[in-house]
Structures are given as C-alpha cells and as structure tokens.
Amino acid sequence: MELYALPAHALRQMLDRGEISSVELTKSLIERIEAVDGAIGSYLAIRVEEALKEAEEADRRIREQRDVGPLTGIPVSLKDNICTEGTRTTCASRMLENFVPPYDATVVARLKAQGAPILGKLNMDEFAMGSSTETSAFKLTRNPWNLERVPGGSSGGPAAAVAAGATVMALGSDTGGSIRQPAALCGVVGMKPTYGLVSRFGLVAFASSLDQIGPMTKDVKDAALLLSAIAAHDPLDSTSIPGDRADFLAELDRGVEGLVIGLPVEMLGEGVAPEVREAVNAAVGVLEGLGARVEEVSLPHVRYALAAYAVIATAEASSNLGRFDGVRYGFRSREDADVVTMFETTRAQGFGAEVKRRIMLGTYALSAGYYDAYYLKALKVRTLIRRDFEKAFERCHLLVTPTSPTVAFRFGEKADNPVAMYQSDRLTVPANLAGIPAISVPCGVSQDGLPIGLQFMAPALAEPVLFRAAAAYEAAAGWASMRPPLEVK
C-alpha cells in the first residue's frame, strides 16, 4: 500500500523502526497532492520547502531519539482559518487574501513542538460560513467520491484531502457541524471536542461561544492521537479548560459492552433520507451485537436548535467580523473619497454573499428593540437544549444519530436556497449549542456510492468513552478501510 494511504498510527511504527523517513513520507504526500488536487481542489497553499525542512528535523529527532512524540515526522494539514506564522491564512476570503500571520495558533505550535511537518492550508467555506465549501472566494473543492458532488462544509478542504490521501490527517474547525458534516460526506472520521478542550487562540473567530478545533482523520485511532497532541490548557484562551494533557488512546480497546446508548427520536424522523436512516439502524444493530444496550430517548427542544443557532452564530459573527474594516489589516478599498465610503466599499468588496447575509442577520438580532426578542430568547433555548442533553445522559453513556440527513448533494443544488443549505447542519448543531463532544464515523454507502456518517455524542469531557464506542463500531463494521474510486491522471 502507498504511504499516503496509511493511517498515522501505522506510519508511526514504520518511522520508529526506520522503515521509512519523514522526508520520504512527506515527498510521497506532495506527489499525491500533485496527482489528485487538480481534480479535487482541496489546497489553498502547499508548504513544500518548509514541510521538507520540518521533515528533515523530525528525522534527526527520531535518529537521535530526542523529543520523539506520537506525531513526530507525521505531516498534518490545516484548515485555512488556523493561523500559521509566515504562511497565508485567508479564511477563503478576499478580505484576507494576502494576510500572513506573524504567529502560530496554539494548536500549530503544539504540532510543531512534536515535530509534525505542516503540509499546507486547506480550502473552506468563506470564514467557515457554509455547508458545502461553495462559498470559498478562490476555488471549488470536489468530493473525491464523486467530483460532481460537494465535500460538505465548512471544512470541505480537510475532509476531501484526507479522503483522497492528500494528507495523513488534518485539523478543521466546527461551529455547527463544520468538521462532522464534511467528514460524513467524504467518508472519513471527524471529531468536535468538548468546548474549551482545545485552544482557540489563533483560530479566526466565527462564533466564539461555539467554535472548536478538532481532528479529521482516516480512522478513530488517528483522531484520538491527534486530539491528544493538541488538547491542553492554554492561558492565551480565556475559555480553555484547566487541567493536564489527556491521553485519549488509553480506553480505545475497551469495547462497548455494558454501555447504554440513546437513540434520540427527534433526530431520526422527518428530513432524514431513508437510506441514511437504514444505515444508522444497521449501525445500531452492530452496537447491540457488541454488547451495548440501545434505548430511545427524547430531546424535546432539539427541534429549535437550528433556529437558536442561526441567531446566536450570526450575532457573534456580526461582532467578530467587525474588525475587518480596511484599516487595521486585510483587504482595503483604494478608490474612495472619504473614510465612511472606504468602510462600506471595503466590506462590500471583501466579503462574499453568504458572509454578508450572516453579518446582516446578526446585526439585526443584536439591534435595539430586537435583542430581547431574538438573541436573548435564543440563549434561553440553548439552555433548554443543554438541559435536554443532561437529562438524556443521566440514562445513557452516549447518544447516536445520523451525522448528515442526506449524502453529498450536487453543486448548485442548495446554493440559491440558504434555508435548505442550513438544514444540512440540523443534526450536528445541537452538540455545539450544548458544548459536548461528538464524532462522525463512516457507517455505509448509498445506492449512488456516496458515504453515510454515524454520529456519536457524549457528555462534556467524556471523550474517552466517545472514542471507545466509535473505535469498537469502526472495527466491527469495517467501513474505515473504504476509499474513494478517485482516478489519478
């Protein structure tokens, strides 16, 4: 098997035994990118020279047995809203087209400290606002399983790159499902940690009470490996959870026997495609066969999750994106008579249509006379949803749902209908509102040959049991080994 197709944990063993070098691995991935990325369009920037230098340093560390960690020599790619010193970070927006951060995000600094070469920056929906990666200002990213279909969003670039073997593993960001939904549509593993478990310092903010960085990988073990490398308290992030660095690999092999898994009835009904529902029901049968007990539960307020999310996320986006004014950094309109006109034209030209839509919605929700009616009410609904989850977790260790209500859709199918596009996230949004961890793993293939995702959700800081259940299902079901039939020219 080619090196680019192997998971990180297998590559770790080969590196430690001296069977391959990090430079050899990095070159293999660069060649794979050259072969497939013209078709899928997952990268916005490739750090060829820098990644090879970092790989050389990793090889020295491995030879000298000096500061060798689980990711030493393993290349990682990043969604392009995670700041990287000296490398453009654009958020797939004209507003930041030429922005080069003077610092690394905390997660990037931790990867570099372990000796993981940073391979490049990956395409996304502009400012992480979208569910198909169609709002990127620079290019379309195509689903490796079918180049006429979207890869999901907003982390469509990372999902497509992992699925196509154009990276070993990647980091994405998840505000309302932006890691899990594209992972499901591209047939890879995507995980959103507990809010505050991973530092957001250096992540370009969309909605600060919802955003979280997480892993996108070929299998569950790699996701646990990557999360172990980046999850730790960070004084630079005021929402970072205090505590020691955790090892999320410790309980991977414990299985699910004795676990109680809840099946929320509200998240399996209307709007879920029949073949998705059938795949999830089959996955539930696998879990029961492994010794888990499955029972139906109710999350009565989850039907309001998408509406509450729309208000909270757009309100916070309106506030966060106010900094892009053409004065401090980023794009600036140059042909204006006065400063007010400069502000207006800078934002009109720098932002795309979806970003403008969300800024306007959020500004309206926060405006005088509407704050209580919209934003405050949405926060109250969020509290009710969180309590629903707490009540369910009194009975169950985990909850299981579909990740996406449908498989990957065609380009343009929902682009002109924002409400239909927002519905793509209705099964993933609740976990963000509640601040709990969730993971998507492949659980089947549709009649059209497109991947289907299964979502596990756990109580806050219960990542070990989340990985434990996901790994047990993955091993029993065998979907982790499936790869897209991507033709290489």
Catalytic residues: 79, 154, 178
- The three-state secondary structure class of 381 is helix
Q: Give the β-pairing of 189-192 and 438-445.
A: antiparallel
Pairing of strands 43-46, 118-122: antiparallel
Residue 300 phi/psi, 5-degree rounding, is -60, -30
Q: Is 140 helix (H, G, I), strand (E, B) or coil?
A: coil
What is the enclosing helix (H) or strand (E) of 120? strand 118-122
The residue among 211, 192, 193, 191 whose CA lies nearest residue 201 is 211
Report whether 229 contacts 71 (CB < 8 A): yes
Report the C-alpha gap between 450 and 359 in whole angstroms.
34
Structure token digits, residue 235: 């004084």
**Rounded Cα gap, residues 164 and 159, in angstroms:** 9
Structure tokens at 448: 């059209």
What is the distance between the alpha carbons of residues 193 and 191, in angstroms, rounded to a whole number? 6
Sign of CA dihedral 396, 400, 401, 404: positive
CB atoms near residue 323 (< 10 Å): 12
Task: Tell me if residue 170 falls in helix, strand or coil.
Answer: strand
Distance CA 428, CA 407 (A): 14
Task: Say which residues have a Cβ less than 8 Å from residue 215's Cβ, sequence separation at least 6.
Answer: 169, 170, 171, 172, 179, 189, 190, 191, 222, 223, 226, 227, 230
Task: In whole angstroms, give the CA distance from residue 120 to residue 334.
Answer: 31
Query: How long a stretch of residues is the chain?
Result: 489
The partner residues of 442 in beta bridges, in order of sequence, read 453
- C-alpha–C-alpha distance, residues 192 and 152, integer Å: 16
CA–CA distance, 247 with 215 (Å, rounded to integer): 15
**What is the Cα–Cα distance from 37 to 182, expressed in whole angstroms?**
17
Neighbour-count burial of 242, counting CB atoms closer than 10 A to its CB (0-12 exposed, 13-18 middle, 19+ buried): exposed
- For residues 282 and 446, give the distance between their C-alpha atoms in angstroms, rounded to a whole number: 13
| Residue of 217, 215, 225, 213 whose CA lies nearest to 250 | 225
